[in-house]
Chains A and B, each alone.
Chain A
Amino acid sequence: MGLVQLHLPAFQVILPMLAAPLVMLMARSPRAAWATATLVSWLSLAISLMLLVRVQAEGVVTYHMGGWLPPVGIEYRVDSVNILVLLVISFISAVVMPFARQSVASEVREDKHGYFYAAFLLANCGLLGIAITGDAFNIFVFFEIAALASYSLIATGRERQAVMASYQYLMMGTIGTTFLLIGIGFLYIMTGTLNLMDLAARLPEVNDTRTVRAALAFIVVGISLKLALFPLHLWLPNAYAYAPSMVTVFLSATATKVAIYVLMRFIFGVFGHELSFNELEMNLLLMPLAMLGILIPSIVAIFHTNIKRMFAYSSVAQVGYIILGISFASTLGLMASVLHLFNHAITKAALFMALGCIAYRLGGVSLIHMTGAGQRMPWTMTAFVIAGLSLIGVPLTAGFVTKWHLILAALDGGLWPIAVFLLGTSVLALLYVWRVVEVAFFRPPLRRIKVREAPLSLLLPTWFLTLACLYFGIETSLPVGLAERAAEALMGGYP
């Protein structure tokens, strides 16, 4: 146990990386591949929780890869900010794996299951790596690992468009990470270091140079592509709509969130909010984009009949909320953003899981498929409605907690029009969720074909997350406490 404790940060990343080739070797037996991947995702969650305990006791947990001391070597650094991101990733993957067995069996060709789970583990490893590392170049490498694995995961979708969607994502994602790499390269030229903490210490000397400002621009644009900030979101709706259900659940809850974390880390931790906001006034760029990003995709979502695509657009809008919180450049706004990372992850995962149940039983997720689904699959649809309420931000759900804190932050900054705007846009979410509810509950089923409730292995994870949406809407101390500490740490720059 001592050995594990000592190397926790390393194991967080190594474990899925070690399991991926093993799972790939099990390609002949999908069952074994799934079981191994599930076991690993649970162990990952256990490691994240153990790290949480250590972070709460010690403040910061660091690990020096290969025994090389930072800033020369690669440092893994877990503090109050990224522990939350690690928890979100490993929690979602631990919940989605039990869901995956039957969902993947019905949506992915059987001879591909081994590779599918291997790619899933690699995506997991990449995302965890981005969150845990304290080295700028390492962030880029893990971005690529996560991205390449997710491209292949999306391409395993049933429909032929999945390949095209994956290709689109590949193009946009590659441009995004290339921009990130150019930005990191500029920083390296100016400071001679890649360690994030060391960068934060050395940047103030060279802040006034064009190179550093260009680096900030490249990094912000590159990451904005990855996190699907409006108007750089065009890859996302197709990718989410055509990916297998389980992949949509996982990516929607984690991939964009991790990119948002990196954005926060760079503009607050490395560049510092003084440079980013007071001097360069990035809020003038981020705030309008975030507001447009909430407004336009929400309206677009209302008119879509493919529900998965509808909620993909809603994801873009939710990213807008998080970026809006960042653009306030205040501890309160950041706290709301960090909180929404978590709350939106469980809400969207629950929604996409419910859609996965529907796709499993009804064969599709268009509005027509869902006619009368409320009678046929009451449990699934009830979960869908509760998660939908959380998405809208109704009191007693997790979504409300973030909306509340966002509005508080807006009022605190004296931006009352934005508070009104936030309330107004909730109505848009209500509209598109209502369209589904109306069709599912208030219309009789179209066909006489008997459709049963989704199997338990799909229903239990869905309900687990749905109840989590309710639980964290009522008992808010855990996420709010973590988010508060994270926001304070971020505003303080790198300690």
Chain B
Amino acid sequence: MKHHIVLRVVTKIMIPLIVIYALYIQFHGEYGPGGGFQAGIIFSAGFIIFSLIFGLDVAQEAIPPEATRLLAAFGVLLYIGIGLACILLGGQFLEYKVLLANDQAGETLGIIGIELGVGITVAAVALTLFYAFAGRERE
């Protein structure tokens, strides 16, 4: 795609916007439509465009396939870790209000934390799937 200058330039402009939008959906999910799942998909979509235009090799240099698997596991662990932290602090599983002294602050921290876990896992799994299909011919 080296000679498609328009595609390259437009993508370069688009990707930061897509990623910022993903982060907005991620951290605004509490107040409006959105949340970790949607944010993860949007983030990975931005990255998939990048690898379509600039090549899989460049993309895998930025986020190697092993990293996507690690991140996929990490997201789930973050989610469950927060749930277990709630139990250790004397609440039920995922009862966020015990996380901080202030109930409301605890709820916010908990929900943002688990949504972050969801977002990381979804983005990582979507990329893993993309890599698996894109890299099929090389094996």
Contact = CB atoms under 8 A, between A and B. Distances in A.
Interface of A: 3, 7, 10, 14, 17-18, 20-22, 24-25, 27, 63-67
Given A3-B87, A14-B83, A17-B80, A65 B93 contact: yes
Interface string B63-81: 0000001101110110010
Given A7-B87, A14-B83, A14-B84, A63 B92 contact: yes
11 contacts: A3-B88, A10-B87, A10-B93, A14-B80, A21-B73, A22-B77, A65-B92, A65-B93, A66-B93, A66-B94, A67-B92
B72 to A, nearest CB: 8
Contact of A64 (B69, B88, B92): B92
Contact of B73 (A14, A25, A63, A67): A25
B55 to A, nearest CB: 26
Contacts of A18: 77, 80, 84
Interface residues of B, number: 20
Contact of A66 (B73, B74, B84, B95): B95
For A17, A18, A63, the residue with the greatest tally of chain B CB atoms inside 10 Å of its CB is A18
Contact of A67 (B72, B80, B95): B95
B62 to A, nearest CB: 22
Given A20-B76, A27-B69, 5 more contacts: A7-B87, A21-B72, A63-B93, A66-B95, A67-B91
Contacts of A14: 80, 83-84, 93
B96 interface: yes
A24 B73 contact: yes
A241 B11 CA distance: 48
A129 B45 CA distance: 32
Contact of A65 (B76, B77, B94, B97): B94
Nearest to B73: A21
A7 B93 CA distance: 8
B139 to A, nearest CB: 12
